[in-house]
Chains A and B, each alone.
Chain A
Amino acid sequence: MKRRNFVQLAGMGVGAAMMPSLLMGNNISTEALLEPGMDVIIKKQLADVALNTAKGLGASYADARIGRYLNQFVRTREDKVQGVVNTESFGIGIRVIANGTWGFASTNDVTQDGIKKATEQAVAIAKANAKFQTNPVELAPVKSYGEVSWKTPITKDFKEVPVSEKVDLLLSANAAAQQNGANFVNSALFMVNEQKYFASTEGSYIDQDVHRIWPTFGVTAVGDGKFKTRQAMSAPMGMGYEYMDGLASEKLEGPDGLKLYRKSYDIIEDATMAAKQAKQMLTAKSVDAGKYDLVLEPNHLGLTIHESVGHPTELDRVLGYEANYAGTSFATIDKFKSGNFKYGSDIVNIVADKTQEGSLGYVGWDDEGVKTKQWDIIRNGVLVNYQAIRDQVKMIGQNESHGCCYAQSWNDVQFQRMPNISLEAGKEPYSINDMIKDVEKGIYIAGRGSYSIDQQRYNFQFGGTMFYEIKDGKIVGMLNDVAYQSNTQEFWNSCAKICDQSDYRLFGSFFDGKGQPSQVSAVSHGSSTSRFNDINVINTGRNV
């Protein structure tokens, strides 16, 4: 963690600490969010200035991304509005290959002159860095798509929903929690609209309009010298404001009266439950350490998938490009090449995907103009592929990019980012109730909690939001102080059962960090409730 983060975190409450760098941009009025961006005809003309300038200076490849990034962030605690922030960031990023080397420059001066200057800078950087380059960049071929467009399929644009309606909804959720015994509530709504235009010397001009939303809260109960916080059971989604509709058809009944949500979220219902559960957590039994069969709910399992499958199968990590920051990977090239590296049990099938509706990774084309798709990472338990982009696939003997290149803004250079990485549902009908009935000694874990994994992704420890003890096929009560420790390969090989498609839901991370300087990216992980046998559970209770 950087010192400035340390100091900021020391000085601010939970809500403020969540304020992401993503929200950097100029603050604007709510009405200004609705102003149309630059016309697509003008964008094409300006992008062509970059492409032509780059080619004129000897670049063998160039792409230009004109981006308008709009964010809205509403933050409350109890009966108080702590902040309504709207931001806009607009500019162009130009990436070139000259002398076999990448160069990148960006500017918020989106005029012919401004773009020419930035392009000259990008080419100059490429030529300067070429002196240090040992292996010239080789790009996998990509189709020329001409002039195309894509939009997240939304039915309610957050920009058209009045701020007062959003504030009222959060304050109602806070009130519901307090009426049900919560001492404190922090709640927030993050909304993002990326309006991005991509053009490259390959002959593609791609206009995309991407939407994301994340409602969240922390409900805290205090009693008898203790405090417990129950986090929201929502997920960040690649959806519009319609996610907040709370449709009954998208609700699932979990064990012990838990309400779980698919593609529609009922924040008031969840806050009401959260208050009751936070109070219950204050007096729950402390877990006995030992081996348990774990039944992991998708809003929990998603984070485990993210850390133990998503990150280790990023090709740049595997090759050592991220060694100084996030680390490398145990899923090395020799294991992949063997064709028989048993990452998980036979029922474990994990797919990478940029096309799933409602997911955070869903776009039409990635940030280097590659049409998005779905591909296998683990099939029948065996590692069969990585996540790789145009300048990487050759290193694993492939000639088609996977289409998972992304930059957090026009101001940052695009690089390989995690697509949605999801566990396929079980093929036979099998419900969460069936699963619990089959467990003799186990723990059902719902929601995300503490997470930590080593720099090669072997050893991990995860907590959760709520823990329920399972004895002889029945939930017998809530538990406290639970964390499980395992090794990635052992863990996935202990996967014994996966519920069917009717239980499938998305978990998401809005702010996955990678790179130096660090960039954030949003990614979903789908799964159905799954059972992992004989996992080591530790007791995290301490007396201080």
Chain B
Amino acid sequence: MGIFSKEEARKIMEKAMSFSTSDACVINLSGSESGNIRYARNSVSTAGHQSNQSMAVTANFGKKSGTATIDEFDDASLAKVIKRAEELAKLAPENPEFMDPLGPQTYDESKTYVEATANMTPEYRAQVAEASIQPAKLKDVTAAGFLDGGEGFSAMMNSNGLFAYNKSTNMEFTVTMRTNDGTGSGWVTRDFNDVTKFDAAEASKVAIDKAVMSREAKAIEPGKYTVILEPSAGLGLLQGLGRSINARSADEGRSFMSKKGGGTKLGEKIVDERVTLWSDPLNDEVPAPTWNGAGQPLKKTTWIENGVVKNLAYGRYWAKKQGVDPVPFPSNFIMAGGDASLDDLIKSTKKGILVTRLWYIRSVDPQTLLYTGLTRDGTFYIENGKIKYPVKNFRFNESPIIMLNNLETLGKQVRVDGSLIPYMKVRDFTFTSLSDAV
């Protein structure tokens, strides 16, 4: 079994710590049990089970550090991994940015573990594949999907008395449905800590309906359009903004968050006042661990409030250097939404494009957070409050900053990829060319 209980983990780590002779020692212990099933061409292609356990030991002598890992936990192995880390530390060059390990911390109890998810079986995974493949066949559609999930734990102990433990479960499902004439494609994603919230038939139907609806798409001119971004599509661009919250890069002048003439955009209004973005490990919909790999407690943190940058993330070293409190990087993202359903958003749109997802998103200019990518698996033209017809996919070149300044309406939030993101209606979204891809 890859999962140790809190007490089992503590016992093993205490034993390892008893062999330590270095100035400071940090031990991380983690493990997981997960299973997956993959299908394509309406048939299961691969299925597997993965079990992992690993202990990483970082030993420090002064400002010198060495790390060693091991996957066996008998006394001799524990002594060996400590010795190996200490040998590496003695040979390592000094790290001027070394920080002493934290002392004991207090953490909130996380909500990341759900027994039912840990108990997923190969038979359950096969049923999920069947629940996708059978309805696809009935609609002359071909399914290709992947389900992966299971449980994991992580624990941390250091020579300054810190101990942390967390157990979590997760499942992630995606399926692409393609019509057999090759002209339509739909897609859906679902991810939960609690597998009982997952309905494979419901999710598969969404993708099948999109595939059928998107057949024989029309080409319309690229340009600036009002778009309704489904949460998956919105997340693709918001991730770009999420990656720019590093205070150090901002202070160094090499980030979107750097201010011309020096300093950062902290306290500046950068997007529409309705945009509020925070992280919260205790959120019921997107629970996340309540501590990070450095042993810092994770609490609710607001990054953007009413369009204004409220916080940038400071690692421990950079915080000390700048004379501020550390602000740990987030373990999830939550963006404030509104009451509008997708139907409401469509009904209130005179002329626009509904986007299911954005794909192959790559940074074009880190200075302006300009990204490029393409729409995929369900792109539809809206006129006078109704979906009129499917349209060919577009390439976009857009910055999340421009997108969030052009916000028209915020809709309901949906969990996607561990974050909580609303439907968004945005004007003047820039599509730069057409793609023939289905």
Contact = CB atoms under 8 A, between A and B. Distances in A.
The reply to whether chain A is a binding partner of chain B is yes
B374 to A, nearest CB: 5
A13 B255 CA distance: 11
Given A183-B252, A542-B399, A132 B44 contact: yes
Interface string A422-453: 00000000000000000000000000001111
Contacts of B187: 324
Nearest to A307: B360
A481 B365 CA distance: 8
Contacts of B364: 450, 461, 463, 483, 540
A7 interface: yes
Interface stretch (B23-31, B33-41, B155-163): B33-41
Contacts of A543: 368
A323 B69 CA distance: 37
B252 A544 contact: no
A19 B125 CA distance: 31
B260 A225 contact: yes
Contacts of B402: 542, 544
Interface in B288-335: 292, 313, 315, 329-333
B174 interface: yes
Contact of B437 (A82, A102, A458): A458
B313 A10 contact: yes
A222 interface: yes
Contacts, number: 223
Contact of A461 (B44, B91, B395): B395
A143 interface: no
Contacts of B315: 11
Interface stretch (B10-18, B241-249, B339-347): B241-249
B176 A483 contact: no
A9 B71 contact: no
Given A27-B67, A454-B360, A459 B374 contact: yes
Interface string A322-358: 1111011010000000000000000000000000000
Contacts of B96: 80
Contacts of A487: 436
A26 B253 contact: no
Nearest to B122: A128
Residue of A10, A13, A220 with most partner-chain B CB within 10 A: A10
B192 interface: no
Nearest to B259: A225
Interface in B359-373: 359-370, 372-373
Given A321-B40, A459-B434, A10 B329 contact: yes
A540 B69 contact: no
Interface string A284-321: 00000000000000000000000000000000000111
Contact of A2 (B146, B245, B252, B417): B417
A486 to B, nearest CB: 9
B43 to A, nearest CB: 5
Given A222-B254, A516-B38, A538-B432, A132 B43 contact: yes
Of A125, A324, A459, most buried by chain B (CB within 10 Å of CB) is A324
A347 B269 CA distance: 54
Nearest to B359: A455
B368 A461 contact: no
A413 interface: yes
B387 interface: no
B220 interface: no
B376 interface: yes
Given A7-B331, A227-B253, A320-B178, A450 B399 contact: no
Interface in A196-248: 220, 222, 224-227, 229
B246 to A, nearest CB: 7
B144 A323 contact: yes
Given A26-B70, A459-B395, A125 B47 contact: yes
A544 B399 contact: yes
A209 to B, nearest CB: 24
A97 to B, nearest CB: 14
A11 B437 contact: no
A157 B192 CA distance: 47
A163 B243 CA distance: 32
Nearest to A81: B93
B145 A324 contact: yes
Interface in A2-40: 2-3, 6-7, 9-11, 13, 26-30
Given A11-B313, A455-B359, A541 B365 contact: yes
Interface string B80-108: 00001001100111011100000000000
B279 to A, nearest CB: 9
Q: Which of B68, B93, B313 has the most CB of A within 10 A?
A: B93
Contact of A104 (B48, B253, B256, B435): B48
Nearest to A164: B93
A121 B30 CA distance: 25
Interface size class of A (residues with CB under 8 A): 35 or more
A41 interface: no
B35 to A, nearest CB: 11
Contacts of A516: 36, 38, 146, 148
Contacts of A459: 374, 393, 395, 433-437
A454 B359 contact: yes
Contacts of B196: none
Contacts of A541: 365, 368
Nearest to A14: B249
A450 B69 contact: no
B328 to A, nearest CB: 8
Contacts of B332: 3, 7
Contacts of A249: none
Given A108-B71, A538-B397, A544-B369, A132 B126 contact: yes
B201 interface: no
Interface string B32-58: 000010101101111110100000100
Nearest to A8: B329
A452 B254 contact: no
Contacts of B69: 26-27
A155 interface: no
Nearest to A167: B93
B144 A26 contact: no
Nearest to B400: A544
B418 interface: yes
B119 interface: no
A84 interface: yes
Nearest to A135: B43
Interface in B121-155: 122, 126, 129, 142, 144-146, 148
Contact of B239 (A6, A26, A451): A6
A6 B417 contact: yes
Contacts of A463: 364
Contacts of B433: 459, 461, 485, 536
A194 to B, nearest CB: 20
B22 interface: no
A119 to B, nearest CB: 15
B277 to A, nearest CB: 12
Interface in B232-291: 239, 242-243, 245-246, 248-249, 252-256, 258-261
A380 B79 CA distance: 63
13 contacts: A3-B419, A6-B243, A6-B418, A10-B313, A11-B292, A26-B69, A183-B252, A183-B253, A324-B175, A325-B146, A456-B436, A459-B437, A485-B433
Given A10-B246, A320-B144, A323-B176, 8 more contacts: A10-B330, A27-B68, A183-B252, A321-B144, A324-B145, A452-B362, A453-B360, A516-B148
Interface of A: 1-3, 6-7, 9-11, 13, 26-30, 80-82, 84-85, 102, 104, 108, 125, 128-129, 132-134, 163, 167, 183-184, 220, 222, 224-227, 229, 319-325, 327-328, 330, 413, 450-459, 461, 463, 481, 483, 485, 487, 516-517, 536, 538, 540-544
Nearest 3 A/B pairs, CB to CB:
A225-B260, A3-B418, A11-B329
